[in-house]
Structures are given as structure tokens and as C-alpha cells.
Amino acid sequence: MQNRIVHLIDADPSETRINVEGWIRTKRDSKNFCFFEINDGSCLKNLQVILDKSTSELSEVITHISTGASVTFTGILVESPGKNQKVELQAEDVILHGEAPADTYPLQKKRHSLEFLREIAHLRPRTNTISAVARVRNSLSFAIHSYFQEKEFIYVHTPIVSASDAEGAGEMFQVTTLPLDDIPKDNGVVDYSKDFFGKPANLTVSGQLEAEIYAMALKNVYTFGPTFRAENSNTARHLAEFWMIEPEMAFCTLEGDMAVAEEFLKYIFNYVLNHCEADMAFFNKWVQKGVADGLKEVVDKPFIHLPYTDAIKELTSTKKEFEFPVSWGADLQSEHEKFLTEEVFKAPVIVTDYPKEIKAFYMKLNDDEKTVRAMDVLVPRLGEIIGGSEREYRYDVLTRRLDELGLDPKDYWWYLDLRKYGSVPHAGFGLGFDRVVQYVTGMQNIRDVIPFPRTVHNAEF
RNA sequence: UCCCCUGUAGCUCAGCUGGUAGAGCGGGUGACUGUUAAUCACUAGGUCGGAGGUUCAAGUCCUUCCGGGGGAGCCA
């Protein structure tokens, strides 16, 4: 655990003999000296190791050390005469744990395309970009827990397998133990009484409804876990398996919801800017120019609040031509969201009070009977990063809404019970964690910010 | 799922209006003065995504299937 390279590169020279473990990134060999760059994933930088071949008996073993090999060097940290590093390890001994034959090892010193790296997802964390993503992803996870824990939210584990057929947030993966080549049927209808749970079950598409249950007892809760959508969407922003964060707050209206969403985003962005400086500088320079600078701006500026109706006015009063027509009642398209965040306000925008027809049944109906207390946080570059709402907490209005939408109240019995017993205004939001990582790092494709992307026709590794 | 682009050496790509393939990097071998995308010399790698078709002749044109990318829809 000691001697991680992130600390060694800034350490002072010392007479103490130390061990350094890691993987070889490059080797520069000449007659008398051999230089290695060794990386252990603790940071982007490598530690330079120098080996004096004239005084060492290691000439044989170092011919087997090539890019990708795993080694432990023993030596002394000395001041480096070279200009690119403060210190370097003067090696006295080396253990070669595992060779990486250069004629077949796929990773080279040069840059690889992210598409190629995706095909070797078992080796790609050994690259600068993917390891930096892993560290930022880790820090963001920590920051998320840290924010909610500081605010005394309770972390709730909502189920992965859900037999509730009420969520309706997207296409679901069915979970079954029925034999697919011989499904038991009763008059042509699948006999789910023979299935594991005795009824149809799916992988969860959202933990929100279950989170509401716990909010109705613990006041402020959040979920942070995997979510699944079986949608045939093939874009740089969609995964079939992704991680979602869903806070839910009792005694809270949309105003409180928006305030938390803004504070939360700023907190986690700020955390990463402060704790992953080197990685963020890397993204800022090589992955997407100015991504870290843009993040700083988001942290400093107040978010714009804009009712849907005003957003429509904004979009219809511009001379800009849109591919999709703008009209009250239609959902905002990607191009509209981009226009608002990137051209009109140049800042994150929270659009509120959408028409009820384009939002979910559980959102609180406004007095106009036309709009609901929904909010979407839109950010430049990415579009919607957060979707949330104040929930409909009035029993009679909720049952009326279910009725209007042709939904069966029996399927929502426990959800309705929450409105029957001790109901209270409450609100929450959801955000896709992987999209946050994407936004923060500036990575173009969501498949490169999750270690093992699951997408249509792709579940390798 | 729809629209557009694309698939040539291990990687990144070039290959004009059809005449059976090239570069850089990487690999191997050797040289080398503390190198840092090291350098220099030599060298080996490809039935041009698969299957059909047009043609005297196909990497190049056509059909189709399969990958990959961009955009859209769905959404987080």
C-alpha cells in the first residue's frame, strides 16, 4: 500500500531503500543505461526508473521487461538530472512478476482510439484516459455519498429485481426461471404461477417509488445503484445497465428540490475539481478543451429557473430555425435544450412546470390542471442531466390521474397507501451517474466512462 | 428503430475517374554519449470485414449481411 507513485513523484530524495510496484509503460534502452516508466494507477504520471547496466547483473532479466510487464523495483529515490521529473528510482533489483510479450501485447506507447480500446476492455484501464476516468468516477461516487451523508440523508437500497409492474419508465428486462424453449401456458397465456416469483418480474428501471416509501419514514433518503433499460437506443449517451442516484425528500416542494439539485451538482463538481486536479487537467487539455474551466463556471453561476411556458416563448421568439417545430405541449428536443443552455443563457437551466401529458403520472398537478411540478436540469453540451418533480401527494388527485391515464389503481396499492396514511408534500430527482461522469470528464461516449458497458448486442467482459 | 459516414498490416491511416497494395507508429535484429513520443540502421508483417454480382480486370463499382462512428427518436 505504501510507495504509491502518486506520492513518490513529489517525494524528496532519500537514502532509504524502497520497493515500487507497477506496470511498465515504456522502456528506453541504451548500451549502459536502461530507463523504465512505471505506472501503478495511482495517478497519470509514471515514475522513471533508471538501471545502470554496467554495474548490474540484471541485464538478462531486463530484456524480458517490456511495455505491460508487471514488476517490483527495489532502489533508492534520487534527484533526477533529467528535466521532466523531480526524482527517479535508481534501481538495484527488480522482480519481473509477469511478462507482456511485445509481439502480441495490444497496448502500445502511442495513442489508441477509444473504439479500439473498447474492444480490449480488459486492458484499457492501463491507459491514461481510462485510468483517469476510473479515478474521477471513483471520486464522484465518493462525493455523492459525502454530500448526502453530510446532509443527513439515509442511503436506501432499493431492489434490483422488481415484481412491481407499475414503474413504466422504459422497456424492461424480464427476469425469469421459466424454460424459454418450453414456457408453461394456460390457454395460450404464460402461466407465471410457475415462475420463480409466481408473477412477472423485471430488472428495476428506477428505485424512485421504493425510495418514496422510505422518505415517508426517514424524511430524506437517496438511492445510488444500478438500473436497467432494455431500450433499443444506440447513442453515445445510453447504456442498458447504468447507475442512477435518486434522492427523495419529505416535507419538500419543488423549490426545495431544485435547491438541493443545484447545491448537489455544484458540490460534486467542486469536489472533483479539488480532488482530481491532475486528471481534470488531462481531460481539459486532451479530451475536451476547456471541460474543467466550464465546470468551474457552472460551480460559480446560479442556475437559471425557467418555466416550460417561458421556455417555449424563448424558443418561438428566436430567428433560429429548428429541425423540430416548437409548440406548447410538445417535449423539448435536444436542439432546443442546447439552444437554451448554450446560446440563450450559457449556463445550466432548470425548466419547470411541464405539460402533464409529457410527464409521469406521479408528478404533482398544478392548479392550472395543465402542468405538473416537474423540473429538468439542463446543462450545456449534454442536455438533461437531472429529471425530478414534486410528487402528487393528494390521494384523490393521484387516483384521478391514474384513471385518466388508464392505469389500474390495484397495481399501485402500496403507492396509494402512502397518500392514504400520513401523506406529506415530497419531492425528488434522479440523475444518471454515468452521464455525470461523461459531463465532468468531457468524454464523448458513455461506453468509455463505465468499466464494462452493456449496450444493445454488447455484453462482452 | 431511422438517416448519414465508415471497415485496407498489431495500431492510426493513404490508396485520384477500376489495371491484384503503401506510410507512420508498433514488432524483430543490431548500434548508441542520461533517456523521457529517445535516436540511427536493417528487417518481417496484409486472401483490402463476410458472401454474392458486374467486368478481360475489383481495395476501388453494385447487392446483401456483419462490425464501428456521427446525428435523431426513446430516455437517465
Residue A26 burial (10 A CB sphere; 0-12, 13-18, 19+): middle
Chain B positions within 7 A of any protein Cβ atom are 1-2, 10-13, 25-28, 31-38, 67-76
**From the C1' of B71, which residue's alpha carbon is nearest?**
A235
pLDDT digit string, tens, across residues A259-272: 999 999 999 999 99
Q: Which residues 92-111 on A are within 7 A of strand B at the CB atom?
A: 102-103, 106, 108-110
Last residue of a domain, one of A63, A98, A133: A98
In a domain, A191, yes or no: no
Contact A87, A13 (CB under 8 A): yes
Residue A431 is assigned to a structural domain of this protein? yes
Relative orientation angle of helices A291-300 and A254-275, to the nearest 10 degrees: 140
Task: Of A217, A213, A91, A222, give the one whose Cα is nearest residue A154.
Answer: A222
**What is the arithmetic mean of pLDDT over A395-419?**
92
- Supply the CATH number for residue A311's domain: 3.30.930.10
A420 & A324 share domain: yes
Specify whether A51 is located in the same domain as A152: no
| pLDDT for the residue A318 | 85
Q: What's the pLDDT at A322?
A: 83
CA of A291 to C1' of B18 (A): 47
Task: Give yes or no for residue A378 having a pLDDT over 70.
Answer: yes
A382 nearest nt, CA–C1': B76
Q: Are residues A217 and A78 in the same domain?
A: no
Domain limits for position A15: 5-98
For residue A197, being part of any structural domain is answered with no
CA dihedral A398, A401, A405, A408 (to 10 degrees): 30
Residue A105 covered by a domain: no
Same domain, A285 and A357: yes
Give A169's pLDDT tier (boundaries 50, 70, 90): low
A165 confidence band (pLDDT: 50, 70, 90): low
Do both A282 and A157 map to the same domain? yes
Cα–Cα distance between A201 and A91 in angstroms, integer? 59
Nearest to A250 by CA among A211, A224, A223: A211
A162 shares its domain with A70: no
Cell 416509501 found at: A213
Percent over 90 (pLDDT), chain A: 73
Assess whether A347 and A232 both reside in one domain.
yes
In a domain, A281, yes or no: yes
Q: What share of chain A is helix, strand, coil (3-state, %, to 5)?
A: 35, 25, 40
Rounded to two decimals, the pTM is 0.94
Give a yes or no: residue A110 inside a domain.
Answer: no
Domain shared by A242 and A339, yes or no:
yes
Answer whether any strand B atom is within 7 A of the Cβ of A31: yes
User: CATH number for the domain including A61?
Assistant: 2.40.50.140
Last residue of a domain, one of A98, A114, A146: A98
* Same domain flag for A162 and A258: yes
Q: Is the model's pLDDT at A382 over the cut of 90?
A: no
Mean pLDDT (chain A, rounded)? 92
Strand B–CB A83 distance below 7 A: yes
Nearest to A307 by CA among A366, A379, A222: A366
On whether both A234 and A287 belong to a single domain, the answer is yes
Domain count of the fold of chain A: 2
Q: Please state whether strand B lies within 7 Å of residue A385 at its CB atom.
A: yes
Residue A456's pLDDT is 87
Please write the tens of the pLDDT for every residue from A87-126. Answer: 999 999 999 999 999 888 999 877 899 999 999 999 999 9
* CA/C1' separation A280–B20 (Å): 50
Asked whether residue A80 falls in the same domain as residue A227, the answer is no
Report how far residue A223's alpha carbon sits from residue A207's, in angstroms, rounded to the nearest whole number. Answer: 7
| CA pair distance A360, A23, nearest whole angstrom | 50
Residue nearest to nucleotide B45 (CA to C1'): A103
Would you call A181 exposed, middle or buried from its count of C-beta atoms within 10 A (0-12, 13-18, 19+)? exposed
* pLDDT at position A1 over 60: no
Q: Residues A266, A407: one domain? A: yes
| Nucleotide closest to residue A106 (CA–C1') | B10
Q: Please indicate, yes or no, if residue A107 is contained in any of the structural domains.
A: no
In a domain, A142, yes or no: yes
What does the CA dihedral A6, A10, A16, A19 come to, rounded to 10 degrees?
20
